[in-house]
Amino acid sequence: MSEPSRNVEPSSTPDAELQQFNATWASPRGFPGWLSEVNNRPLGIRFMLTALAFFLIGGILALLMRIQLAVSENTFLGPDLYNQLFTMHGSTMMYLFSVPFLEGLALYILPLLIGSRDVAFPRLTALGYWTYLFGGILFYISFFVGEVPDAGWFAYTPLSSSKYSGLGLDFWALGLSLVEVSGIVAAVEIVVTILKLRAPGMTLARMPIFVWTILAAGLMSLFAFTTLLVATLLLELDRTGGTKFFDADFGGNNLLWQHLFWFFGHPEVYIIFLPATGIISMVVGTFARRLLGYTYITVAILVTAFVSFGLWMHHMYTTGLPELSLGFFAAASLMIALASGVQIFAWIATLWGRRPALRPPLMFVLGFIFIFVLGGMTGVMVAVVPFDWQVHDTYFIVAHFHYVLIGGAVFPIFAGMYYWIPKFTGRMMLPKLGHLNFWLSFVGFNMTFFPMHIMGFFGMPRRVYTYLPILELDGYNLFATIGAFVFAAGTLLFLLDILLSFWWGAPARNDPWGGDTLEWTTSSPPPSYGFLVPPVVRSRHPRWEAETLDCPPSASIEAANQRATQALDGRPTEWRGTLVTHAVNATPQAIHYLPGPSYQPLFVAIGLVVALVSVLLKVHLVILVGVAIMAIALGRWLSPKPDLVKRLRESDMADRAGLPILTTGSRSVAWCGMVTFLSILAMSLVALVYAYFYIRLYSPQWPPAGVSEPSRLMFTLSYGLLVVSAPALMWANRSFNRGYENQIQFSMTCVLLLAAAFLATNVYAVIDYGVSINESAYGSLFGLLSVYPWLLVVVGALLLINAQTRAWSEFRDTQGHMAMQMQVTSLYWYATVAAAVVIFGTLILSP
Amino acid sequence: MEGTNEYQAPLPRRSVPTDGRLWFGVLGGAIAWLLHLVLSYLIAEFGCVSGWGEHHWMGLSLVAWLGLAVSVSMVASAVVANGIATRNQKGFSKDVDSETSSDGERFMARSGVLANRFFIVIIIVQSIPFVFYLQGC
């Protein structure tokens, strides 16, 4: 085990215990250790480095495209290769760089900002990283097998259907699915960590703005990425399974893809933009030594997160939708500018009258404000329907979204890197290189993208590999190409700066910028546990002021906070632990066990890759191998070792802190994780039900000609059996709470039997109905919506069997781990029953 | 375990809002906006395609009636949420005892007032298109 660097905090814990504490938190050594790492800091760095590698590749693809477009009728790239390059460039920047980089930054810095020792589910962090890495590799393997995706980063159907696109689109869909899984698990991680693992005293009113923005982005990711996952599943089923969701010849609907895709795609822009604004607020606050409008900024962040889900149709103005719906989506698109404006004005007001030092982080902030305001203004322009009709699919749109995404994400990322890299590496970056990087990036960016507004007005179409000399756009394009290389030089300088700082950078103090937040109280770089003694927060700016005087904590809260943090001073020593606090008031609630190094996340990701590659290669039996690997790894992951539960029960930490270690309900991190997971399932169901009704709306006959109605009696009986299992499980829970051993076993057996009866009758009913998934969109929808509850029930039954087996020996554990397992399993099962009822209503009862 | 340390909040006094009232004050406007968006979208996309725009009553199409009804009721809901958020904020300002309320709750109440006002404006602006399509889609 490698020794983590020591923290700077004074500790009253004896040296021998501190050594044991350090050993418990040390990263495992060697390559096998590298594979089993679960700590947020090394994994956060890996996320960021991998994302930077993809950023470089995506940037090279962009430069190749700019060379092609430098002069009219150029033959540097052919049309096919150009299509492949713009598809890979867009997909790389949107899926493999922007979101994963910000996730990596969040995973690294979040526990430090909120005073926690790690994130809530460390193994989930590792799973997120492996799925992201494997997804990205799968994406790029397409280059080596000569089957590169070429239908754009949005993969509109029917262009992306198997009729018009080759194997490359399968690489796109399957690689992307893995990256989406990564995005979803990172979102679960971030949301639960922020809500449950904040330092005592860090109430909602004292959370750093960056934490607010990643909370908003995490919540958005849960819904947005789930929708995309459903959409790519439907696309891949169409491509390889012969379903007809998007095949208009068989009752499918191509616009359904656009609806689902943009329901993800528009919030995606804000999932990237909001954390970037969080970085801006942190840098502005530190450099101006204040941040005006904290409440306004947080409200603007939350309003933006909400409203961004109501804008998806503004990408579809030209698809022939009813004008009325275009009207109110245009209104929403205009209104979101107000929320962004609030933030911009707050930053300007904060900087007004101050004389902050123009260091690289602040320079990139100022560059961001200039570029993003321009991008925002063109965003307001394209929100107006008639204007959008004129410039849609021209270079004006290319200019607009690069101003928003590079101004709104890349410049803040640069600002954040210059700001936090001293904390990550312990070395200051070289200021002269930072200044030069800023000017090259700022000038190069504007040279590249500003002329594109004009090119768009002159009618230069996007996504086309060349243009005619008669358009007289050669000069603009050559200028843009030169600008792209200037911008690229700036980026290379940034990477060079990071490398050189290891040799020539001055050692970084703990707080090189005089920042106000908790990460600056740790050493640079911080130890793997972040805080030896969990901090108590008494103000919004814990480094600047001891406490906020208008609302000091009461004596009893203060005493509870002190007792909890003192108990965790250099402890627990035998296992990794951190404090759980109340989601709103941040009062101590429990001590959370954090698992150490594990190979299970890697094996789950490998199982997933094996299953998806089998789909790609059409060796369907191997899918079962992948599923088996996943199932075994997940089984080991979810089953706690008996000696661990015993050790936690016997630990003296509970007595020291006066807090439970194994707990239930909203105090339990596992419970919060399950609620978050269920919201993902709910969103996937909403997307599928929406798909059903949307396709049905545009179908002249439902079910289509030649297909009979499903048997109401048979399906009612089948779904009824599952519904009855819910009260049976309630009975089991009541028996468990009262410690009635035999009743627990009997009632849980009843639940399992009812589940088995549901599966048997439902499978029979679907087979008996005889509708084919390959003959109509109706059949495809009926089949998929029928299989959905089967999968939920199978997983739920495994969870129930696990709980029932443990209940044999642990039925008296009504407050500890067994109780938590019963509660979480029950939550899942009730959600499964609710989902089945919705599906029954959709397939069988809807008129 | 030696005496629990988990902080137990004392029973709230009358001026301090309950959890339900607090959360409604924070999220009421957002939920009203969400419902307005979903229902307006369903009315416009599903209603217009299903021919509701052709059915008229008192000179207005069924789509317009439904759209206006949804808009009025959702603005009203957001206004109610804003009223509750305002009362929450006043309740906290009277309560100076940090035993019964934290600055986290005070912050939620204040955020609720700001957010609800914003959502009221958004719902009103998003309702304007219905006025331009009183006869059809």
Which chain B residue is nearest to residue A329, measuring alpha carbons? B126
Q: A669 pLDDT exceeds 80?
A: yes
Whether the per-residue pLDDT at B101 is higher than 90: the answer is no
Chain B nearest C-alpha distance from A723 (Å): 28
Q: Is the pLDDT of residue A374 over 90?
A: yes
Kindly state the average pLDDT of the residues B46-54: 81
Residues of chain A found within 8 Å of residue B126, distances taken between Cβ atoms: 328, 331-332, 335
CA distance B92 to chain A (A): 11
The helix (run of H) or strand (run of E) holding residue A408 is none
Gyration radius of chain A's alpha carbons: 27
Residue A716 neighbours by CB distance under 10 Å: 15
Looking at the DSSP bridge assignments, the partners of residue A767 are none
Instruction: Report the residue of A301, A306, A580 to disrupt the B interface, i.e. the one with the largest count of B CBs within 10 Å.
Output: A306
From residue A445, give the alpha-carbon distance in Å to each of A82, A381, A687: 22, 21, 38
Q: What is the pLDDT of residue B95?
A: 62
| Contacts B105 to A, Cβ<8 Å | 584-585
Q: Which residues of B touch A204 (CB under 8 A)?
A: 104, 107-108
Chain A residue at shortest CA distance from B43: A325
Residues contacting residue A806 through CB under 8 Å, at least 6 positions apart:
A818, A821
DSSP state for residue A532 in the 8-state scheme: S
Closest by alpha carbon to A673, among A242, A123, A295?
A: A123
Residue in A310, A321, A556 closest to B99 by CB: A556
pLDDT in tens, A10-54: 677 788 889 999 999 999 999 999 999 999 999 999 999 999 999
Mean pLDDT of A605-611: 96
DSSP β-bridge partners for residue A507:
A427
pLDDT band at B92 (very low <50, low <70, confident <90, very high): confident
Cβ separation A659–B67 shorter than 8 A:
no
pLDDT in tens, A703-733: 999 899 999 999 999 999 999 999 999 999 9
Asked whether the beta carbons of residue A554 and residue B48 sit closer than 8 angstroms, the reply is no
| Interchain CB distance below 8 Å, A327 and B122 | no
Confidence of residue A4 (pLDDT cuts 50, 70, 90): very low
Paired strand residues for A591: A579
Contact B128 A548 (CB under 8 A): no
Token code pair at residue B25: 């004050």
In angstroms, the separation between the Cα of residue B69 and the nearest Cα of chain A is: 15
Percentages (nearest 5) of helix, strand, coil residues in chain B: 70, 5, 25
Close Cβ partners of B28 (under 8 Å, ≥ 6 residues apart): B77, B78, B80, B81, B82, B84, B85, B112, B116
pTM of the model: 0.94
Q: Which of A196, A325, A538 would you mutate first to test chain B, the one with the most B CBs within 10 A?
A: A325
Name, in order, each residue with C-beta under 8 angstroms of A746's C-beta and a sequence gap of 6 or more.
none
Which residues from chain A sit within 8 angstroms of residue B128, using beta carbons? 327-328, 331
Position A442 pLDDT exceeds 60? yes
* Average pLDDT estimate for B8-22: 67
Contact A335 B125 (CB under 8 A): yes
| Contact: B5, A659; criterion CB under 8 Å | yes
Beta carbons of A139 and A613 less than 8 angstroms apart = no
3-state secondary structure of A506: coil
Task: Closest CB to A299: pick one of B9, B115, B122.
Answer: B115
Q: Which residues of A touch B122 (CB under 8 A)?
A: 307, 331-332, 335
pLDDT band at B7 (very low <50, low <70, confident <90, very high): low
Do A396 and A452 touch, CB atoms closer than 8 A? yes
- Using a CB-CB distance cutoff of 8 angstroms, which residues of chain A are in contact with residue B49? 322, 697-698
Mean pLDDT of A366-383: 95
Q: Which pLDDT value is given to residue A643? A: 82
Q: Which of B1, B2, B7, B71 to mutate to test the interface with A (most CBs of A within 10 A)?
A: B7
pLDDT band at B54 (very low <50, low <70, confident <90, very high): confident
Asked if B137 and A586 come within 8 Å (Cβ–Cβ), the reply is: no
Q: What amino acid occupies position A644?
A: L
> Closest-CA residue in chain A for B123?
A332
Which pair of structure tokens corresponds to residue A104?
């990596």
Nearest CA-CA distance, residue B44 and chain A, Å: 5
The single-letter DSSP state of residue A845 is I
Task: Calculate ∠ Cα A320-A323-A324, nearest 5°.
Answer: 140
What's residue A645's pLDDT?
79
Judged against a pLDDT cut of 60, whether residue A3 lies above it is answered with no
Token couple for B71: 């808009």
Contacts of B97 in chain A (CB under 8 A): 554
B15 pLDDT above the threshold of 80? no
User: Shortest CA distance to A442 belongs to which of A513, A365, A379, A511?
Assistant: A365
Q: Which of B100, B101, B122, B133 to mutate to test the interface with A (most CBs of A within 10 A)?
A: B122
Whether omega before A42 lies within 30 degrees of 0, making that bond cis, reads: no
| Strands of A608-652, DSSP E | none
Residue A627: enclosing H or E segment and its boundaries? helix A620-638
Q: Over the stretch A141-174, which tens digit does the pLDDT of each residue have?
A: 999 999 999 999 999 999 999 999 999 999 999 9
pLDDT at B1 (0 to 100): 44
| Chain B residue with minimum CA distance to A204 | B104
Interface test with A, best of B31, B103, B110 (most A CBs within 10 A): B103
Q: Do B111 and A298 touch (CB under 8 A)?
A: yes
Of A327, A584, A654, the CB nearest to B129: A327
By C-alpha distance, the chain B residue nearest A553 is B98
Cα torsion angle, A420, A424, A426, A428, sign: negative
Distance from CA of A548 to the nearest CA of B (A): 10
Q: What is the pLDDT of residues A263-313, one digit of tens each?
A: 999 999 999 999 999 999 999 999 999 999 999 999 999 999 999 998 898
For residue B104, give the nearest of A203, A309, A331 by CB distance: A203
Does the beta-carbon distance from B4 to A698 stay under 8 Å? no
pLDDT band at A380 (very low <50, low <70, confident <90, very high): very high
Tell me the count of A-B CB pairs closer than 8 A. Answer: 160
Distance of CA B36 to the CA centre of its chain: 10
Considering only the beta carbons, identify the residue of B7, B104, B125 that sits closest to A205.
Answer: B104
Looking at the partner chain, which of B63, B110, B118 has a beta carbon nearest the beta carbon of A324?
A: B63
Cβ-nearest to A553 among B3, B98, B110 = B98
pLDDT of residue A769: 94
Asked if A306 lies within 8 A of B33 by C-beta distance, the reply is yes
CA dist A730 and A748 (Å) reads: 10
